A = this chain, B = another copy of it.
Amino acid sequence: KPKAAVTITNPHPYWASLQADIEAHLRQAIPIKEPLVVFQPMHHLAFSAPRTTVPALCLAACELVGGHRHLAMPAASALLLIQAATHAHEHLPLTKPRPIPEPEPVHLYAPNIELLTGDGIVPFGFELLARSDDPAHRNSERILRVIIEISRAVGTQGALNAQYIKTLGSGAQSDGKGLSHVERIKRAAEKKEGGLHACSAACGAVLGRGSEEEIERLRNFGFYVGMMHEMLKRKENNEEEEEEVIIDEVRNLALKELQLFKDRDVEAISTFINF
C-alpha cells in the first residue's frame, strides 16, 4: 500500500478542513473580550495546545453516519478544550517535581493563571455542549449521552488514568501488578489516545443520529485510530522499535470496523488511518 509522505504534524486535507472548522467555531465561542487578563489566556490556551486528531474525528464520524458536521461541533469543541486544559496542567510547574512530558510549551502566563485557565475551560466545554441543546430537534437525550461519554473518557477512568499510570507506575491500575514498563505504556495509550479517539468517534455518531451498531463500530474504529497514531508517534520519536507489521495490523482492524458502512463514502474517514 503506497503511503503519502504525510505525518501527524502535516496531515491530510480532510483533517485540516475539519480542524479549521472547529477552530473557527471556537474563535467565535471564545472571543477576546474584557477582562483581557481572563480571556486572553483562555484564548491562548485553547489555540496553542498541540493539535490532535481527536476533535476532527468526531465530525468525520458524524458525517459518515449521514449527519451534518455542525451537529457534532459542540462535542468536537469540548474535546479540544478539555485536551488543551489537560495539556496546560500537565506542564504546570509544581514545587515537587514530577515527570513533565516533552516538549515544554512556551509559558506566556504565570503558573497560577495557567492553573485557573485550565480549570475554567473545562466547565466551559460542558457549557458549550449543554447549550447546543435544541428542543426543536429533540436532541437533548443525545447531548446528555455525549456529556457522559466525554466525562468518562477524560476523567479518572479515562485519559486522566493514563496520567496516573505514568506518574505512579502500575499501582495506578486495578489489575496492573507485575506489568512491565512497555505494557504500562501500552495501557496508558489505550486509556488516553485510544479512549479519547474512541469517545470522539462515538460522540460524532451519536450526534449524527447513527444507529447503536454504527456508534459501536465507530467507537472501535476510533480506538484503533488512536492506538495507531500513538504507535506512529513513538516510532517517529525513535522511542520504540514498533514493527511496521503491527501498525498494519491495527490499521486492518480499524478498516474492518468500517465494513458496516460499505455502502457509504468511507474514503473521507479512512484518511485518519491511511497516511
Q: Which residues of B contact A143 (CB under 8 A)?
A: 144
- Pair A174/B34 contact, Cβ less than 8 Å: yes
Taking A89-B119, A133-B141 as known contacts, 15 extra A-B pairs with beta carbons closer than 8 A to each other, sorted by chain A number, are A33-B174, A35-B172, A38-B161, A42-B156, A94-B112, A96-B111, A113-B167, A121-B156, A126-B151, A127-B147, A127-B148, A130-B148, A133-B144, A144-B144, A147-B147
Q: Does A273 contact B (CB under 8 A)?
A: no
Give complex CA distance A131, B149 in Å. 10
- Pair B94/A164 contact, Cβ less than 8 Å: no
Give complex CA distance A96, B172 in Å. 29
- Pair B113/A130 contact, Cβ less than 8 Å: no
- Pair A112/B98 contact, Cβ less than 8 Å: yes
B127, B148, B155: the one contacting A131 at CB < 8 Å is B148
Q: Which residues of B contact A86 (CB under 8 A)?
A: 119
Q: Does A116 contact B (CB under 8 A)?
A: yes
B37, B85, B115, B140: the one contacting A172 at CB < 8 Å is B37
- Pair A112/B141 contact, Cβ less than 8 Å: no
Interface residues of chain A, those whose CB is within 8 Å of chain B, are 33-35, 37-39, 42, 82, 85-86, 89, 92-96, 98, 110-113, 115-124, 126-127, 129-131, 133, 135, 140-141, 143-145, 147-148, 150-152, 154-156, 160-161, 163-164, 167-168, 171-174, 176
Q: Which residues of B contact A119 (CB under 8 A)?
A: 85-86, 89, 118, 122, 160
Q: Which residues of B contact A115 (CB under 8 A)?
A: 89, 92, 94
Q: Tell me whether A127 and B144 are in contact in the complex, defined as CB-CB below 8 angstroms, given that A94-B112, A113-B167, A174-B35 are known contacts.
A: no
Q: Tell me whether A144 and B140 are in contact in the complex, defined as CB-CB below 8 angstroms, given that A37-B164, A164-B38, A164-B116 are known contacts.
A: yes
Closest beta carbon of chain B to A152's beta carbon, Å: 6
Q: Tell me whether A122 and B122 are in contact in the complex, defined as CB-CB below 8 angstroms, given that A133-B144, A155-B127 are known contacts.
A: yes
Q: Which residues of B contact A39 (CB under 8 A)?
A: 156
Interface centre among A95, A110, A112, A164 (most CB of B within 10 A): A112
- Pair A96/B122 contact, Cβ less than 8 Å: no
- Pair B152/A127 contact, Cβ less than 8 Å: yes
Give complex CA distance A110, B127 in Å. 31
Give complex CA distance A135, B135 in Å. 14
Q: Which residues of B contact A161 (CB under 8 A)?
A: 38
Give complex CA distance A98, B132 in Å. 37
Q: Which residues of B contact A172 (CB under 8 A)?
A: 35, 37-38
Q: Which residues of B contact A171 (CB under 8 A)?
A: 35, 37
B111, B112, B135, B151: the one contacting A130 at CB < 8 Å is B151
Q: Tell me whether A120 and B156 are in contact in the complex, defined as CB-CB below 8 angstroms, given that A95-B95, A130-B151 are known contacts.
A: yes
